[in-house]
Structure 1
Amino acid sequence: MQEAQVPDEVLLEAIRNLADELGRVPTALEMDVKGAPSVGTQVLHRVFGPLNG
Structure 2
Amino acid sequence: MRSAALTRDATSLVRRVHELLRVPPGELGLADLRALVFQQVALPYVLPLSQTERCS
Q: Structure 2-normalised TM-score?
A: 0.30
**Structure with more contact order per residue of length (Cα contacts < 8 Å, sep ≥ 6):** 1
Higher helix share: 2
Q: Structure 1-normalised TM-score?
A: 0.31
